[in-house]
Structure 1
Amino acid sequence: MSRVVLGVAGGIAAYKACELLRRLRDDGHDVTVVPTEAALTFVGRATWEALSGRPVSTSVWTDAYEVPHVRIGREADLVLVAPATADLLARAATGRADDLLTNVLLTATCPVVLSPAMHTEMWLNAATRANVATLRSRGVVVVDPAVGRLTGADSGPGRLPEPAEILAVARTVLAAPALVPALAAQDLAGLTVAVSVGGTREHLDPVRFLGNSSSGRMGWAVARAARLRGASVRAVVAHTDVDGPSGIDVERVGSTAELGAAMTRAAKGADVVVMAAAPADFTPASTSEVKIKKTGDAGTTVTLVQTPDVLHGLVEAREDPRQVVVGFAAETAVDQAELVALGRAKLVRKGCDLLVLNTVGLGLVFGREDNEITLLARSDDGGAVVDGPHAGSKDVLAHRILDGSVAVHRRG
């Protein structure tokens, strides 16, 4: 169980922090809510106390004998502020200590994550941009706000990401605090990452299709990780069971052929191309324009043909030799040795620079939030460098995949 401080600044998005608090507690974390006085204008003290099961204060003078302005920050495993208003960012950047929350930020020795929310003009203002840069330079993780509906009829960048997205960041930082420097430094800024997500569907008729069990979680995790680290992200998305992060360009597709065409477009000019989607390997030789009817108890025969090899096509089509193409291989291997052997053969066959291996089966990988992967990187002598296996959440493993991709890219 981790000790999380949930800071809440005074913005209308404070209502979303209630859902975030419940999700954190459902994850088993011990959560202390530290709102600003302005935050209590939007969500009252009784609500925070009822949801957290803890007393709530905004002042350093409450229970002063326990020295809360120092103790709370020192004891935390994570300080997460959502929403972080323009005022809170300014006070944090200048080292103000005029309420309990800013004191906690000054005394925290654990990772600090700020999730801003404000009107677009405030987010884009030069003063706010400078404050964000200052905080990041000090090792604070600042999550870019989403683009969407703001207060009233306004729309634009400045919306607080959904609680599930903020929770994903919190989980990643708690599970892998070593990632904090990369997240704070935006170490992938200036790079473009193209990633495919989900499973394709090959239609037999207007209502039936051939598909697979991909949920899209791994692809979305790669997109989220790249965006958190400052990269520009393009996502080509087939069928998924979950929603993706905000702040990325998305093109929706259905079939493997559509996926291949869209990924070819998305890959142009990209530094890293990640084929995390699960394309169907076969498609019906012909598709009925009307629903195929059952006739008594008789079955039916469907002729299947192979779909285009999207991964190999991306390798063949790349124009920049420094572009890194990453493939995935879901295998039903009996052990690690067989998995690596299958991966080596596929790495040669596909021609990609990095291959992510995982063993799949009923109840394994698909639809789950965790995974176990092994990375195979092409070596100069035509062989493969094996890294793994690595187990963990898909969000954490996504960063390992990006680390491997960037290492190949920098070798050029």
Structure 2
Amino acid sequence: MLKNKKIMLGISGGIAAYKSAILASQLTQRGATVKVVMTDNAKQFITPLTFQALTRERVYDDTFAERDPEIVSHIDVVDWADFILIAPATANVIGKIANGIADDMLTTSVLASTCPIYLSPAMNVNMYNNPAVQDNMATLKKRGYHFIEPGDGYLACGWVGKGRMAEPLDIISYLEQKYEEEQPFREKKILVTAGPTYEYADPVRIFTNPSSGKMGFAIAEVAASFGADVTLVSGPVQLKTPPHVKRVDVTTAEEMYEAVIQRYDDMDIVIKAAAVADYKPVTVDEKKTKKDDGKTVIEMERTKDILAALGERKKHQILVGFAAESHDLEKYAKGKLERKNLDMIVANDITRTNAGFRSDTNEMILIKRNEDPIFLPLLTKKETAKEILRHVESIMQRTDK
């Protein structure tokens, strides 16, 4: 389950840091890529060189050690990670994270992260039971942090009780179980379309739209993190390919049609988030058309309706479309759902602030067959993608029965 996972392993200052060396080694042996981030206190117990030797990766221990001027290290490492594991997580580092303190490489990285975070507490039993520590852990749990329960037993300080960091193999078992639970699309093939298409009138003039591709790319990224085998068919965009996603670049609506149809039969789920041009010039001039006085008329014709073609060919697939509208949102979305034989449609009002093209957020309505519309609040693209896929999962569970 952890093979090819990218893990940021945080080490804070506790005697249990010696276990983290075993943990780093075991994760690496299971095929994960591990990048270690250490606090200064952690280095009092174990050296960065130990982790470098075990993981064969750079160890991050200084917020200001910027080796590559093109990146900011504490941002780059968390953007890279599939998840963060802090083991041991001392009372000190738990308190800092809970209260938004960022005064070293580890806490600064955590505050800049958007990926799942797991903490494996390790401390004296009385510290663990202290109301301040318990309140800090409760705060982090409410924010979505995951805690790996410490064990009971003899502690380094001589006390006996709860506070021992979980054993490395138990931590790995916990992570594997979590990932299995959080991968509802394991062994499912998902195709996502994203971005605009370009329809050329001549070598330098095109008909297109303002789509950035951010929504489709977010869906592809989240689907891959949920265990899916993801193919992303993208129009021309300036976005990096999400981890573990196969990308197919196209330019025109015709090229997107061919790329999607060619792969459709093998797919379990298709989510068509691309904003495909509805019309294209009837003729394309081989040379740049010179401007002239007066009006110019360009004759246009319809492009192929990719979503309608998929709806007609649908057999076992779950088919999800998007409706970007400027008015009568629900009416047009429901009509599109029925006309194109969709299982769900995702509708958004492109005139709303922070919810239209090129924004980093969306405010969507999800409409499924024979169900009341589901209104999503203003969310980031990635949060919206998670909500969309959770509802696709519910359709999948219903159709699998």
Q: Compute the TM-score of the two structures, normalised by the length of structure 2.
A: 0.63
Aligned to 2:219: 222
Superposition pairs for residues 365-404 of structure 1, below 5 Å?
365-379=356-370, 384-404=371-391
Using the alignment, how far apart are the partners of 2:247 and 2:61 within structure 1?
Answer: 38
Q: Over aligned residues, Cα RMSD in angstroms?
A: 4.2
Q: Which amino acid aligns with 1:37?
A: T
Superposition pairs for residues 226-265 of structure 1, below 5 Å?
226-265=223-262
Confirm whether residue 7 of structure 1 aligns to residue 10 of structure 2: yes
Using the alignment, how far apart are the partners of 1:46 and 1:378 within structure 2?
Answer: 51
Confirm whether residue 353 of structure 1 aligns to residue 343 of structure 2: yes
Confirm whether residue 405 of structure 1 aligns to residue 392 of structure 2: yes
Give 5+ residue unaligned stretches, structure 1: 19-30, 54-66, 84-91, 114-129, 142-181
Confirm whether residue 202 of structure 1 aligns to residue 199 of structure 2: yes
Using the alignment, how far apart are the partners of 2:184 and 2:232 within structure 1?
Answer: 20
Superposition pairs for residues 81-96 of structure 1, below 5 Å?
none
CA displacement at 1:374 relative to structure 2: 0.1
**8 A contact 1:195–1:276 mirrored in 2:** yes
Alignment partner of 2:294: what SS? coil
Using the alignment, how far apart are the partners of 1:226 and 1:80 within structure 2?
Answer: 28
Alignment partner of 1:326: what SS? strand
Aligned to 1:134: 173
Evaluate the alpha carbon distance shift between residue 96 and residue 341 of structure 1 in structure 2; reply closer, same or farther with a 3 A threshold.
closer
Evaluate the alpha carbon distance shift between residue 388 and residue 14 of structure 1 in structure 2; reply closer, same or farther with a 3 A threshold.
same
Superposition pairs for residues 9-408 of structure 1, below 5 Å?
37-38=47-48, 42-43=59-60, 45=62, 47=64, 69-74=90-95, 76-77=97-98, 110=141, 111=145, 134-137=173-176, 139=178, 185-295=182-292, 297-320=293-316, 323-333=317-327, 338-361=328-351, 364-379=355-370, 384-408=371-395
Q: What is the number of equivalent residue pairs in this alignment?
A: 297
**8 A contact 1:7–1:33 mirrored in 2:** no
Q: Which amino acid aligns with 1:378?
A: R
**Alignment deviations for residues 324-383 of structure 1 (CA, whole Å, 9 cap, x no partner):** 1000000001xxxx311121112122221100000003864211110000011012xxxx
Using the alignment, how far apart are the partners of 2:108 and 2:320 within structure 1?
Answer: 34
Give 5+ residue unaligned stretches, structure 2: 1-7, 12-19, 53-57, 67-71, 75-87, 101-105, 111-117, 148-168
CA displacement at 1:138 relative to structure 2: 5.7
Q: Which amino acid aligns with 2:272?
A: M
Using the alignment, how far apart are the partners of 1:82 and 1:227 within structure 2?
Answer: 23
Aligned to 1:154: none
**8 A contact 1:330–1:357 mirrored in 2:** yes
Evaluate the alpha carbon distance shift between residue 44 and residue 262 of structure 1 in structure 2; reply closer, same or farther with a 3 A threshold.
same
Using the alignment, how far apart are the partners of 1:345 and 1:231 within structure 2?
Answer: 30
Using the alignment, how far apart are the partners of 1:395 and 1:32 within structure 2?
Answer: 33
Using the alignment, how far apart are the partners of 1:208 and 1:255 within structure 2?
Answer: 13
CA displacement at 1:313 relative to structure 2: 0.7
Using the alignment, how far apart are the partners of 1:52 and 1:254 within structure 2?
Answer: 34
Alignment partner of 1:45: what SS? coil
Q: Which amino acid aligns with 2:298?
A: V
Evaluate the alpha carbon distance shift between residue 97 and residue 332 of structure 1 in structure 2; reply closer, same or farther with a 3 A threshold.
same
Aligned to 1:57: none
Evaluate the alpha carbon distance shift between residue 247 and residue 389 of structure 1 in structure 2; reply closer, same or farther with a 3 A threshold.
closer
CA displacement at 1:209 relative to structure 2: 0.7
CA displacement at 1:82 relative to structure 2: 8.1
Greater Cα shift, 221-230 or 70-79: 70-79
**8 A contact 1:198–1:276 mirrored in 2:** yes
CA displacement at 1:44 relative to structure 2: 5.3
Q: Which amino acid aligns with 1:372?
A: E
Using the alignment, how far apart are the partners of 1:133 and 1:370 within structure 2?
Answer: 34
Identity %: 26
Q: Compute the TM-score of the two structures, normalised by the length of structure 1.
A: 0.61
Evaluate the alpha carbon distance shift between residue 6 and residue 73 of structure 1 in structure 2; reply closer, same or farther with a 3 A threshold.
farther
Using the alignment, how far apart are the partners of 2:40 and 2:302 within structure 1?
Answer: 55
Evaluate the alpha carbon distance shift between residue 96 and residue 44 of structure 1 in structure 2; reply closer, same or farther with a 3 A threshold.
closer
**Alignment deviations for residues 133-155 of structure 1 (CA, whole Å, 9 cap, x no partner):** 6242464x6xxxxxxxxxxxxxx
Alignment partner of 1:204: what SS? strand
When Rg is computed on C-alpha atoms for both structures, the one with the higher figure is: 2
